[in-house]
Structure 1
Amino acid sequence: MIGAIKTLSLFSGAGGLDLGFHQAGFEIVACVEIEEAYCKTLRANVGGNRALGPDVEIFCQDVNAFDPSRFVDAGIECIVGGPPCQTFSAAGRRSGGVIGTGDARGRLFERYCEILALVQPKVFVFENVYGLPGANGGGPWREMLRAFSELGYKLKAEVVDAADYGVPQHRERLIMVGYREKDFIFPMPTCGPDSPSKAPLVTIREAVADLQSSDEPYHDGLGGMYGHLLPLVPEGLNYSFFTAEMGHPEPQFAWRSKFHDLLYKVDPDAPARTLKAQPGKFTGPFHWKNRHFTLEELRRLQSFPDDYEIVGRYSQIVGQIGNSVPPRLAYVIASSVRDQLLRSKKKLEFPVRPLGFSSTFRQRQRQRSRTFHEIAQRAIEQQYPKSRLANQAVEAIHETYFVVSEGHFKRIEKDTAPRKLAGEERSYKIVVRETKGKISIDFARRLASAEVRGSIRITGLSKYLGRIDRVDVVTSIGDYRDIFHIWVAIERALIKRSRFFSLIDIYGHYANRGDTVNIVCDFGLATTPSERLLEFVSNSSSCGTFMTKKHLSALVKCNLRELDEAITNLRDERFDVRTSRTHPIITGDKVIATYPFPLLSAKALVISKVEMLDSSAGQDNSESGYAQSYLPL
């Protein structure tokens, strides 16, 4: 390739960034990527007339083990790549908090700098999540800028939306260009109101038009817990359509109780929201005809050409697509780097931003949010005519029932008290009464050798449950292993009187709650560290924020070894108390309790993420072609 710009790719992934640079005339001489599944994709696109060119060497290894010495004095003019983003991502914030450079993955920029120092390219292009500059007060970002600058590079960085550069997807990414000579100015958007041409953004319908069949019917939904709701979601909206904040007359989710991709159905006449690498059964984007997008359609939404081969099982391919830089965005950046810094041209392929230019994509994002409210109101008027919303008297429900249980999920409900129990079985009597605005529950362990009395009070429910604002529970239990079944009884009572599906749907996601529902518990347990920890985390005021183990151990009056044992015991009872052992994204001595109640769904994972990864290595966690949907831990 005459005049090609020799380029080394780090953290190559499935090659989206590399492909865009190759299309712009850069010669990718080598790719360094740790994941074998991604390396298989890279290899499949090397050779002959394939997408990445005939001669690309693939190093399937940790970048820390990669030896860059052979590329010293080899004519490398450019290095591209972005380290893994989990430690700075929005998903990371909801999963366990942003730890940034406190995690080994967050320090991979140091290896990036070491390779830059050895190879000495004229230019490098660093790509990462849009939230990196603001993570942890901006400290990690300032540290990175200092490290790159000390190598003698001038730096320009911008957060851009891929949709403004011809990708049929709103995907915000941080792009940083480092260079030694001349100056670099980011290119103007190629589409949208900020572009010189004012060309419209590329829509989903345009991108996948030839993959559609006019005979395809609208589908009924996905089945399962939430699948039947998908046909009711207006185009462009998600689960939030069913919230009180959107004006829904029969709310089924608390505001921001789920990831925003739950039940997200695209507006075909606009770009999609950001594709995800690990979607669940109910995670969008969904086709406007109420189905998952096909792999061919997903590739188009990420701007991969049809001849680019992505290798693996369904879930692996979806992951590679979702983790990729859109090649179209990469092409625009690469062409600008080429024309301005490496192969200077008087007439640039993409005009640069004028002095004082300010992108409007964030303002447009806020405008879309306002538009979604208007769309929701129109859909509600159609789906819920006034005759359906007429006030009707609701009969209060009073009931008494008995439960025989062995473990968490082997439960039998009875109308009469069991006469005897077998093995490890436990028996409970539950009495539920409803009066105006209040549910009262008496929960008693039967046939226990000792009884401890306690209480639970839940307030702030009326926003979501209408006629019910408060739940008062009187408990009489044998030990803390009975508490799981108390919460099953509470969830059962609330769901029976609403259109919600689970207790978490009512309470809200721990990381982004509206702070409407308040829970105060006193089970009368305070003898052991496990009991004291349970009493502490069973109050909503104690949940959703990080604290150090040292501080927590002082609060529950135990030493660190006893605290670790207590956390294990509570997780065995399905309380989601997280540490660095269960969630490697959490720093060493931090701990967080997510909810003041146990996870009641059998599908909600509470095992250690490390154990899960060890046990599932090499397995395909897919269900009918789609990744299983679990409560995100």
Structure 2
Amino acid sequence: MYCIDLFAGAGGLSEGFQRAGFKFFAHVEMDEAACLTLKTRQAYYFLKRNKKLELYREYLSGCISREQFYAQIPNRIFKRVINKEINELTLPSIFGEIDKIRKDREVDIIIGGPPCQAYSVIGRSRDPKGMKYDKRNYLYKDYIKFLNKYSPKLFVFENVLGLLSAQKGKIFTNMKKEFKQSGYNIDYKILNAKDFGVLEDRKRIILIGWREEVNFKYPEFHAVENNYTIRDLFSDLPFIKSGEYSTEYKERSNECLQNMHIRDKEWNVLAQHISRPNNDRDLEIYRLYIDTWNKEERKLKYNELPENLITHNNTESFLDRFNIVPYDNICHTVVAHIGKDGHYYIHPDIRQNRSISVREAARIQSFPDDFYFESSRTAAFKQIGNAVPPLMAEKIAKNIKINLRRY
């Protein structure tokens, strides 16, 4: 089955669908760094199909530059990644690029979710007008134009829970109505990544629409029994401190990493295990938070810090400015703000005393170790925080495929 990936980001959703056997005509994304990541991932799949992954290992190991690496990949592989903002002005050219690739082949599925900032409860609280006039509220209308153009059998639309309450529910009501007017039955559920085996508590709306003539119903998803923890997820990663990085695993892969498709027995290239540098004040705060957690099993509040470490005037609210990723549990939701600072994602090992590395954040989101995030450390963190966990996406994709065949 052939797909189009809209608002693709770094490709977490499409990664899951590709693992489930779906093929892609195009990935459309406006962010340049994310598009480079998408290109690198398409290069990975091309090399894997042609049994030339050694070239990919050379690139991740830093032996060759991106320019040298891309030069050895056919340009047709990169044409699937369309680096354009989706809007009324760009739609004709985006349609044209997709049509050159797909030729006369049918589009079976469209996947993707518009940027969530306009729907986010936190985003609305920070905007004086509650994001009411933010154009991102209406990007779903452009999504519908793709449905009208290509008439896929089915589409998958992912977004944050705030979509349900945006403009007192008006946005979501109108969205459902317009999907229906385009000839699609729809259903949605609030799904949590942890129920799909991801070591992260991450709730999202997954809306599925299918053409009225397609005999389909929303799949039933049963929660995965999972006893793995962050300790299992990080166990093979080497010791690094704030601002440091490492390129060698300290031990072999384990059952957790293999079952979650993060690192198989043969993979030996550790990339992007790099942590951001922190100033002395932040490192002292980290130590206090970890120490309190280890001794009292509770999270320290911001107003409990020593006076010399408090820099915010407001000590009555927003008291959870710092948070720990617990060793013996799963992680709280990884969000794009991790690109700005790591205060909400403190590593649980007090000896390392830092926020989590790019690779650790990627693992929490269930990205495999052979998935490389392009551009910069900050860009990588942002891409990871915005992504759909691939393990969750894969299980959704497999269930959709089964249901399409069944009905």
Q: Same fold (TM over 0.5)?
A: yes
Distance (Å, rounded) in 2 between the aligned partners of 1:48 and 1:229? 40
Once the two structures are superposed, the pairs formed by residues 513-532 of structure 1 within 5 Å of their partners are none
CA distance in 2, matches of 1:51, 1:265: 38
Query: Any conservation in 1 of the 2:342–2:355 contact (CA below 8 Å)?
Result: no
1:68 offset after TM fit, Å? 2.2
Aligned 8 A contact 1:51 1:308 in 2 = no
Alignment map for 1:544-583 (pairs within 5 Å): none
CA distance in 2, matches of 1:47, 1:282: 30
Matched, 1:208 2:234: yes
In structure 2, the partner of 1:10 is 6
Correspondence for 2:221 among 178, 184, 188: 188
Mapped contact 2:302–2:315 kept (Cα < 8 A): no
Cross-structure match for 2:376: 313
Q: Mapping of 1:171-186 within 5 angstroms?
A: 171-180=202-211, 181-186=214-219
Residues 603-633 of structure 1: CA distance to partner in whole angstroms, max 9, x if unpaired?
Answer: xxxxxxxxxxxxxxxxxxxxxxxxxxxxxxx
Structure 1 residues 34 and 102: CA distance shift in structure 2, 3 A: same
User: Aligned match of 2:315 in 254, 257, 262?
Assistant: 254
Answer 1 or 2: higher relative contact order, Cα 8 Å, separation at least 6: 2
Q: Aligned partners of 1:149 and 1:72: how far apart in 2?
A: 28
2:65 corresponds to = none
* 1:52 shift after superposition: 9.7
Correspondence 1:63 to 2:123: no
Helix, strand or coil: the match of 2:367?
Answer: coil
- In the alignment, is residue 327 of structure 1 matched against residue 387 of structure 2? no
Could you tell me which amino acid in structure 1 is paired with residue 301 of structure 2? S
State the TM-score, normalizing by the size of structure 2. Answer: 0.72
**Are 1:108 and 2:139 an aligned pair?**
yes
Q: Give 1:324 shift.
A: 0.8
After superposition, the Cα gap between the structure-2 partners of 1:101 and 1:151, relative to the gap in structure 1 and judged at 3 Å, is farther
| 5+ long unaligned stretches in structure 1 | 192-198, 346-633
Q: Does 1:45 align with 2:41?
A: yes
What is the aligned partner in structure 2 of residue 229 from structure 1?
A: 285
The DSSP-based 3-state class of the residue aligned with 1:211 is coil
Q: Contact 1:222–1:230 at 8 Å: present in 2 too?
A: no
Q: Per-residue displacement from partner, 1:508-539 (whole Å, max 9, x unpaired)? A: xxxxxxxxxxxxxxxxxxxxxxxxxxxxxxxx
Call closer, same or farther: CA 1:237–1:93 in 2, change over 3 Å.
Answer: farther
How many residue pairs match? The answer is 325
2:29 to 21, 27, 33: 33
Match of 2:344 in 1: 284
Q: 3-state SS of the aligned residue for 1:291?
A: coil
Alignment RMSD, CA only?
3.1
Distance 2:48 2:402 in 1: 21
User: After superposition, where does 1:138-177 map in structure 2 within 5 Å?
Assistant: 138-177=169-208
- Relative distance call for 1:109 and 1:304 in structure 2 (3 A) is same
What's the counterpart of residue 539 of structure 1?
Answer: none
Q: 1:255 to 1:334 in 2, by over 3 A?
A: farther
Q: What is the 5 A alignment of 1:464-479?
A: none
Q: TM-score, normalised by structure 1?
A: 0.47
Match of 1:270 in 2: 329
Q: Which runs of 5+ in 2 are unaligned?
A: 51-76, 243-276
Give the 3-state SS of the residue equivalent to 2:286 in structure 1. helix
Match in the other structure for 1:121: 152
What is the aligned-residue identity percentage? 29
Q: Is the 8 A contact 1:32 1:59 kept in 2?
A: yes
Question: 2:406: which partner in 1?
Answer: 344
2:20 & 2:230 partners in 1: Cα distance?
A: 24
Higher Rg: 1
Q: Cα distance, 1:318 vs. partner?
A: 0.8
Separation (CA, whole Å) in 1 of partners of 2:227 and 2:360: 18
> What are the superposed Cα offsets for residues 224-266 of structure 1, whole Å, 9 maximum, x if unpaired?
444422222244755526459xxx9x996734325x4x22112
Q: Is the 8 A contact 1:20 1:327 kept in 2?
A: yes
Instruction: Describe the superposition over 1:18-70 as per-residue Cα deviations: whole angstroms up to 9, x where unpaired.
Output: 10011111101211111111111111111363599794611111122133252
Deviation string, structure 1 residues 180-216 (Cα, Å, up to 9, x no partner)? 222323432432xxxxxxx235421122211145x98
